Structure 1
């Protein structure tokens, strides 16, 4: 038991030392404004080159991902019908569908699914 503790501490110490070496070696000291801006023939940038990204589309993507994972959880329910009794299968299925429904209701209540940005 003591051997495992010593090995764990050695591994942690080596990891921390390597992390600190990486931090000290990779520090860049040239944080000038001119170095971080784009070069347009010596002039300052007139406008931003990229359009602002709406967080609404990101939230829709996250919701799509969450509901995809929840739908994937429904697929094994078909095979579990052979193993479980009908009452247990129905109870578990309804609980999962209620969780999906309450999640959708919460998203509608918080205004995430509004299409007017």
Structure 2
């Protein structure tokens, strides 16, 4: 039993020692060791202004994502229900709103 524990201890010791020698970093670069988050430079100030266009696209995506996952299956389940017409009308209002924002230039990335 002692021989088993001794061999496990020696194996762990050898693996840790080899890991220290094999895993040497050639150079510690500040940019390579910093995290990369969403295309922002983590070395600059975090108080830089953020474009509102990202928020608009995110909100439109969330609204239509919820609509597609929750409301549209209800239309197919209750085809003869009066709430089906309300859901279709709500969908029409959302699509018309997106086309209006598009025509006003709120969704264009180049201004």
> Which TM-score tier does this pair reach, normalised by the shorter chain?
0.3 to 0.5
Which structure is higher in RCO with an 8 Å CA cutoff and minimum separation 6?
Answer: 1
TM-score, with normalisation over the residues of structure 1? 0.44
TM-score, with normalisation over the residues of structure 2? 0.46
Larger radius of gyration: 2
